Every structure is written in C-alpha cells, then in structure tokens.
Amino acid sequence: MQTTAHCVLFVDDDADVREAAQQTLELADIRVEVFADALSALARLRKGWSGVVVSDIRMPKMDGLEFLTEARKIDGEMPIVMITGHGDIATAVRAMHDGAFDFIEKPFDPDLFIDITKRAISHRKLVLENRTLKVELARHSKNVSGFIGQNPAMEKLRTLIGNVASTNAHVLINGETGSGKEVIARNLHEMSGRSGPFVAVNCGAMPEQLIESELFGHEAGAFTGADHKRIGKFEFADKGTMFLDEIESMPLALQIKLLRVLQERALERLGSNRVQPIDLRVVAATKIDLRDAASRGEFREDLYYRLNVVQLHIPPLRDRKDDIPLLFEHFARDAANRFDRPTKPITPAEQATFNAHDWPGNVRELRNAAERRVLGLDPLANGKDDSNSEIASLPQQVDAFEKGVICEALREHGGNVTATVMTLGLPRKTFYDKLTKYGITPADFRKPRSSTDAEPAR
C-alpha cells in the first residue's frame, strides 16, 4: 500500500533515468508519473494540485529553468526539485534563487533522492493544509450570524462561498423564501475584502414607478417632484456589493438598464447625460427558476446569463433537518439574550416534532419558533390558539427519531455504510430498507473534497 496520496511528476528526457527513478520511488511507496519533456508535464499541473515535481534541468525544447518559471506561474508554492549534471552547480544555484525547492546531482544516490522527495511532499502537504486552514479561519471569523449548518449540502455551499468570495464574479443565489439568501449574500461580501458597503434591495417590495430612481438615482428636475439630486443604490454601493433580492420581480424595461450597468460598469442617473463609472459586484437572489422564466419571456435571457456566473443553491430546511438542533440552539440563545429569558435544551419529543414538521418558512420559520419557545409559547403554534396546534402523532415521532439516529450515525462515519451498520447493530438489508423508507442517501454524508477552485454554474 502506498503511504501517501501525493504524486511525484518526474521529468527527464533520458528513458533510462526515468525508469530508474520510477522504480526507486515506487519501491518507497511513492506514486509517480514520468514525462519525457517539460511541456507534457506542464499540461498536467494546476493550482492546488497536491503533488511535487522533480525535473532535469538540461532538456530540449523547454529546459528545466523555463519549466520552473512556468510551473511557478501555475502555483508559486509548488515544490520543484531540480536535477543537474556533475559540475553544473551554478545552474542549480540559479534554480534555487528562482524558487526551486532543492536540487540533486546526477548520478544521484537512491536514498538521498527518496529523502529529498519525501521532504518536498511533506512541505507540499503543509502548504495545502495552511491554505485550507486560512479558508476555514476566514469562514469562521467573518461568518455572518445565521449561516450555520453541518449538513453535507451546507458544507459544500460554505466551501464554494469561500472559493468565490474574493473574486469579482457576479453570483446568483437560488432558494426558497426564508432559506437565508441575504445571509449568504452578506457572507460573500464580508469575505470579499471589498471596501465599499453592502447594499440590499428587495426588487419585489419597491413600487415599479420608483424602483428606477431608487437604483439609478436622478438629477434635480428629472421628473415632477425631483427637486434635488439623488444618489441611487447602485452608485452608493460603489466598490461594494449590491444585493438584488427577488430579482425576478424587476420590470423587464429596467432589466435592460441593469444589463448595461453590468456590461459597461457604468450608469447614468435619470435626467443626466453623464456616464458615471462604478466598481460593483452584483449578488442576485431568486426563489424561482430564472432559466424557465427566461424561456417564457418573463425574464431577460441575456441578463440571466450575465448574472449566472456562479450559482449557489440553498437547500430548504426540510432537506437538512439534521441542522435543526444547531440552528434552533443558536436562535434560542439569541432570543434569550434579547428578551432576558432563560433557555433550556430541546427535549427528544420536541426534536421529533420538529423533524416531522415540513418547515415551509424554512430558517426564518425556525427562528420564529425558537423565539416563541423562549417566550413560553408553543414553538409551532404559528400565532394560532395552542389547543389547535398540530402535534406529530406517535408513529411520526418514532419515525423522525429513527431517521435522525441513522443520519447522525452516517455523518459520524462519513457516509460509510459498513461502519454505520456495525454502530447501529442492524442487518444490512434492514438498514437499506430504512434508507429507502426515509429517503436517505449515504453519499450525501461523505465529506466534500477541499478545493481552491470554484466550479462555474452550469
């Protein structure tokens, strides 16, 4: 068995040297890929790749020093070990000055070769761990209140946010009402490092006759009642983030003007002929499928594709009920502080009732439930008389409890079915029957792969 998942790219135009190096590394349980030229090896590299490179210096077409320069453009912290011939130490020193990790002379001792390679691998592992740690620290130190969850879908969403936050890419957030779209937008802004403000506008809450002036601003005398100049929301958000909630509600005529702002990075106030440049990142949110709306002519298709550089989907609360205890505890503590009331843990019966509830209002409804409980009211009464509130039946509570136990065991074992079955003490067939009954997919509980590259929306 190989002792490391890291790979070594070995580059040398001498077939005998390649074969000897491959045998040496494989005998040391180090995975290796060999290349006869630098250009082929360069095509294999990408930022964040977990391996290291060992390359000869003197090669045709592209020599080792050129290869070192190009490889460091892809990832400046990738360890590259250079191989040099006898008496060519000056070139090796130059390579070290240019960022090489180390060098080794031909013919090299196998033990020394393995030792240098393992040191390079250890260094690479440390660099990548530090990168991951920085993302995690940024996530927790700048995490906006309310973006909480350990569900695999939320972990994947959190990772994607960390990957795209520092870019200028426009983002489209899709999620049901109350799922936390503005919270995600604020996370993107807080982690972006942009110096301007976060400006939120609900397109569906603005009167159609006022929204253009609100967004673009106007000059004095632009229309009846415009007795002074007004800076619009877009201009106010310069160098910051503009959050357009319920973007599907924006009038089609105004969508054309928004598209122009995104394309030209400039705007004109109403009543003005002067073009005002702006540095703006737009995060739009919708509760509908904008592509379908565009196909029906209810939303501009060109604007959809302009906004949809990166798409983030927030799963509804009913699809991540394993996050309910964590979210409820957070909201209850917050409410207790505001109302100066004590808090108490959720009982198993309450947890079963919460799991049996569909939460049509998503996280917003859960927050309200937590506040009602802190105030001594029925959490799910929803403003109705307590005697008429819906209470889950005993079978519903039992099913909800059993589903929660299975989900927790799967999460603990990272989706590993064998380990989960052993922990629960269930026959495998019975376990699979329950997965089918509750609609549970073990793959959803596997930890997402860490990545520094964001996936574009498809």
pLDDT at 387: 38
DSSP string, 282-328: EEEEESS-HHHHHHTTSS-HHHHHHHTTEEEEPPPGGG-GGGHHHHH
pLDDT at 383: 46
Low-confidence spans in the chain with pLDDT less than 50: 1-4, 140-146, 383-391, 449-458
* Through-space distance between the first and last CA atoms of the chain, rounded to whole angstroms: 38
Distance (Å, whole) CA 343 – CA 335: 9
Domains 152-315 and 318-445 share a fold: no
pLDDT in tens, 228-237: 778 889 889 9
Distance (Å, whole) CA 330 – CA 369: 12
CATH class of 152-315: alpha beta
Residue 201, phi then psi, degrees to nearest 5 = -135, 130
**DSSP H or E run through 351:** helix 348-356
pLDDT at 136: 55
Residue 292, phi then psi, degrees to nearest 5 = -65, -40
pLDDT in tens, 301-349: 999 999 999 999 999 999 988 888 888 888 888 889 888 888 887 777 7
pLDDT at 141: 47
Alpha-carbon torsion (313, 315, 316, 317), positive or negative: negative
pLDDT at 394: 63
What CATH topology corresponds to 7-134? Rossmann fold (3.40.50)
Q: Map tokens 């106007």 to a residue.
A: 218
pLDDT at 22: 93
Distance (Å, whole) CA 214 – CA 234: 9
CA distances from 69 to 54, 74, 80, 204, 280 (A): 14, 9, 10, 52, 34
| CB contact at 8 A, 314 and 181 | yes
pLDDT at 429: 84
Token code pair at residue 255 = 């969508």
Neighbours of 61 (CB within 10 A): 10
Domain regions of the chain by residue span: 7-134, 152-315, 318-445
| CB contact at 8 A, 85 and 106 | yes
Residue 91, phi then psi, degrees to nearest 5 = -65, -40
pLDDT at 225: 67
Please, which residues have CB within 8 angstroms of residue 114's CB and are 6 or more apart in sequence?
24, 25, 28, 30
At the second CATH level, the architecture of 318-445 is Orthogonal Bundle (1.10)
Residue 309, phi then psi, degrees to nearest 5 = -70, -50
pLDDT at 199: 92
